[in-house]
C-alpha cells in the first residue's frame, strides 16, 4: 500500500516515502494576518487537514507546522490605513479570526503554529548565512536592505520552470529598490523606514529593519522541521514568487528543504479567482452564516484539492442535500442499533485517498456505502445496514465529517437539557398524533405535523413509528 502525491516541483505523481519511517514532517504556508479569512483560506487549510488526517489514519506520526506571518508590508499598511490600531494588534486580531474559522470547520490545530515575529533571530541567522555563502548582498548605504542574489544561484526558477525571466519594466521594479543587481533579486531584509513604527524593526549587523516576505517560511520550516523535511504545502498562487524564492534561499543556504511540494487549487467565484479588486470575496464569516459548518466543510472538500473549486449560489444548498442524505442514513442506523462505532473504510475509499488524495472518488465510495446501507435496511437486513453505517462513519472520520464524533459534539449542557425537554413534549404530541392516525383522523394528524413543521420540526413516519428531527440540524 503506497500513497501517491502530486509533486509540483517535478510535475508528477510521486510515491510518498517519508525521510524517517513512520514519521511525516509537513510545513504549510499559513496566512499573512492582514485581513479577515475568506473561503480560499479555509479551503487551503482544509486540504492539508485532510492530508494530515489521512496520513495519521494510515499510521504516520505527523508533525504539521503552519505559520502565521504577522509582520509584513500589508500588515503595516492596513494598520496604518485604519489609523487607530497598532500593527501587532491588527495581526493578532486577524490571527484570532483565522483560528475561529478553522475551529468552526474542525480543522485540527497544527502541531505548532509559529509566528514570524517570534522567529526573527532565526531569520537574521539565515540571512547572515546566505551573505556568508555569497548568495545575498546588502545595499551599501541603505542601512539594512539585503537582497538574495539570484544570479549566484543557477537553480533559481527550478520550482516553477522559469528559466528566462523577462522583466519588461526595470525602472518600475527598481523604483523602490535602488541598488538591486538583478530585477529578479528579492528582499531578504528591509531597512527600517522612518514612517514605519519602531516596534516593527529589529537590529542586525547590517542595519535595523524587518524581514522580507519569503524568509520567514524558510526560517520557520527549518527551525521546527529541520533542514530537510517531507512535505511543503500551500496555495497555487504562492508557487511564484513565494515558494520559488523560499526554495532558492533555503537551497542556497545548503538545506535540502522539502522533498515534496504540494499546491492546492484556488476557489473561483463566477469562473474567476476571488479577489478584493473584483469585489467577489467571500469571507469565512459569510460562509458560516449561510450554512452549517459541517456542510461548508463537505462543500469545500467536494472537488479534488488540485482543481479549482467553483463557488456558485446553489453550491451550499446542494452540499446540504448531499450531506443530509448521509446524516439521514446515520440517524436511521442509530435508531436501529443505538450509538454507533466507526468500523473500517472500504478498499475503494482507501485506494482513492492513496491516489493523490482523490476525495471526490472517496466520497463516491461513501455514497455507495450509504445507498447500499439504505437498501439493506429497506430489505430488513439490519445487521448489514449497521455494518455499512459503521463503514460510513470510518470514512467520515477521515474526512472530519462524522457528526457523532466528539469534535462535532455540542458542548453545551444547556443544549442537551433543552433537547431533552423538547423531546418530552414532542413525544407526547406524537403519541396523540399516532392515536389520531389509528382513528383515521387525518385532519388532526396532519395538523399536528403541520404545526411541527411551522416550528421547524420535521416529522417522518416509519414502520417503527414516527420520528422527529429539527430542520437544518
Partner RNA sequence: GGUGGAUUGGCCGAGAGGCGAGGCAGCGGCCUGCAAAGCCGUCCACACCGGUUCGAAUCCGGUAUCCACCUCCA
Chain positions 282 to 321 lying near RNA, rule: CB under 7 A, are: 302-304, 307-310, 312, 314-315, 317-318, 321
Residue recorded with cell 474542525: 106
E strand map for 170-312: 187-191, 209-211, 228-235, 257-264, 267-269, 272-273, 309-311
Assess contact for 113 and 63: CB atoms under 8 A: no
- Nearest distance, CB of residue 412 and RNA, angstroms: 27
DSSP-derived pairing of the beta strands 209-211 and 228-235: unpaired
| Cα–Cα distance for residue pair 388/366, rounded to 1 Å | 10
Could you say which residues in the range 363-402 bind RNA, by CB under 7 A?
Answer: 363-364, 367-368, 370-372, 374-375, 377-378
- Nearest distance, CB of residue 344 and RNA, angstroms: 20
Contact between 429 and RNA by CB under 7 A: the answer reads no
With respect to RNA, which residue has the nearer C-beta, 255 or 304?
A: 304
C-alpha 356: how far from its chain's center? 16
Count the site residues for RNA by CB under 7 A.
81
| Contact region with RNA (CB under 7 A), list: 49-57, 138-146, 411-419, 442-450 | 442-450
Contact between 215 and RNA by CB under 7 A: the answer reads no
- Nearest distance, CB of residue 268 and RNA, angstroms: 6
With respect to RNA, which residue has the nearer C-beta, 73 or 125?
A: 73
Residue recorded with cell 416529522: 459
Could you say which residues in the range 77-136 bind RNA, by CB under 7 A?
Answer: none
Contact between 470 and RNA by CB under 7 A: the answer reads no
For the record, the C-alpha cell of 69 comes out as 506571518
Could you say which residues in the range 154-213 bind RNA, by CB under 7 A?
Answer: 160-162, 164-167, 213
- Nearest alpha carbon to residue 415 among 427, 426, 407, 423: 423
Could you say which residues in the range 228-247 bind RNA, by CB under 7 A?
Answer: 234-242
With respect to RNA, which residue has the nearer C-beta, 125 or 237?
A: 237
With respect to RNA, which residue has the nearer C-beta, 75 or 252?
A: 75
With respect to RNA, which residue has the nearer C-beta, 154 or 462?
A: 462
Could you say which residues in the range 7-66 bind RNA, by CB under 7 A?
Answer: 11, 29-32, 38, 40-41, 43-44
With respect to RNA, which residue has the nearer C-beta, 23 or 302?
A: 302
Check the CA dihedral 284-290-296-302 and report its sign: negative
| Cα–Cα distance for residue pair 225/125, rounded to 1 Å | 17
Report DSSP letters for 145-194, one per residue.
-EEE-GGG-TTTTTTTT--S---S-HHHHHHT-TT-SSTT--EEEEEPPT
Amino acid at each position: 500500500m503506497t500513497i501517491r502525491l502530486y509533486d509540483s516541483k517535478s510535475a508528477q505523481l510521486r510515491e510518498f516515502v517519508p525521510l524517517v519511517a513512520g514519521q511525516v514532517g509537513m510545513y504549510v504556508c499559513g496566512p499573512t494576518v492582514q485581513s479577515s479569512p475568506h473561503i480560499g483560506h479555509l479551503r487551503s487549510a482544509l486540504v492539508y487537514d485532510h492530508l494530515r488526517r489521512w496520513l495519521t489514519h494510515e499510521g504516520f506520526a505527523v508533525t504539521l507546522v503552519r505559520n502565521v506571518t504577522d509582520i509584513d508590508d500589508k500588515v503595516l499598511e492596513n494598520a496604518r490605513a485604519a489609523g487607530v490600531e497598532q500593527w501587532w494588534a491588527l495581526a493578532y486580531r486577524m490571527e484570532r479570526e483565522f483560528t475561529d474559522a478553522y475551529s468552526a470547520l474542525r480543522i485540527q490545530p497544527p502541531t505548532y503554529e509559529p509566528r514570524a515575529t517570534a522567529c526573527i533571530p532565526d531569520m537574521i541567522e539565515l540571512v547572515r548565512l546566505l551573505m556568508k555563502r555569497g548568495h545575498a548582498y546588502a545595499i551599501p548605504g541603505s542601512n539594512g536592505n539585503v537582497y538574495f542574489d539570484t544570479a549566484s544561484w543557477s537553480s533559481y526558477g527550478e520550482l516553477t520552470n522559469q528559466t528566462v525571466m523577462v522583466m519588461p519594466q526595470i525602472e518600475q521594479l527598481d523604483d523602490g529598490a535602488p541598488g538591486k543587481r538583478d530585477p529578479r533579486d528579492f528582499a531578504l531584509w528591509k531597512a527600517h523606514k522612518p514612517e514605519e513604527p519602531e516596534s516593527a524593526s529589529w537590529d542586525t549587523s547590517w542595519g535595523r529593519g524587518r524581514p522580507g516576505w519569503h524568509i520567514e517560511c524558510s526560517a520557520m520550516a527549518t527551525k521546527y522541521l529541520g533542514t530537510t523535511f517531507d512535505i511543503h504545502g500551500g496555495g497555487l498562487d504562492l508557487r511564484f514568487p513565494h515558494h520559488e524564492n523560499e526554495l532558492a534561499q533555503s537551497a542556497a543556504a545548503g538545506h535540502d528543504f522539502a522533498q515534496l511540494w504540494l499546491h492546492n487549487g484556488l476557489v473561483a467565484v463566477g469562473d474567476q479567482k476571488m479577489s478584493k479588486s473584483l469585489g467577489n470575496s467571500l469571507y469565512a464569516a459569510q460562509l458560516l452564516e449561510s450554512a452549517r459548518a459541517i456542510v461548508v466543510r463537505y462543500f469545500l472538500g467536494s472537488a479534488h484539492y488540485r482543481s479549482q473549486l467553483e463557488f456558485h449560489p446553489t453550491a451550499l444548498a446542494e452540499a446540504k442535500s448531499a450531506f443530509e442524505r448521509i446524516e439521514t442514513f446515520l440517524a436511521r442506523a442509530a435508531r436501529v442499533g443505538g450509538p454507533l462505532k466507526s468500523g473500517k473504510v472500504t478498499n475503494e475509499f482507501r485506494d482513492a485517498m492513496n491516489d493523490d488524495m482523490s476525495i471526490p472518488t472517496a466520497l463516491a465510495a461513501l455514497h455507495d456505502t450509504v445507498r447500499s446501507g439504505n437498501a439493506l435496511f429497506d430489505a430488513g437486513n439490519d445487521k448489514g445496514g449497521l455494518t455499512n453505517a459503521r463503514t460510513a462513519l470510518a470514512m467520515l472520520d477521515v474526512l472530519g465529517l462524522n457528526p457523532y464524533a466528539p469534535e462535532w459534539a455540542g458542548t453545551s449542557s444547556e443544549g442537551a437539557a433543552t433537547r431533552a425537554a423538547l423531546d418530552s413534549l414532542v413525544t407526547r404530541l406524537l403519541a396523540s398524533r399516532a392515536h389520531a392516525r389509528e382513528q383515521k383522523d387525518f385532519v388532526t394528524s396532519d395538523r399536528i405535523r403541520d404545526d411541527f413543521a411551522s416550528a421547524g420540526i420535521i416529522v417522518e413516519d416509519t414502520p417503527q413509528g414516527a420520528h422527529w428531527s429539527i430542520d437544518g440540524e
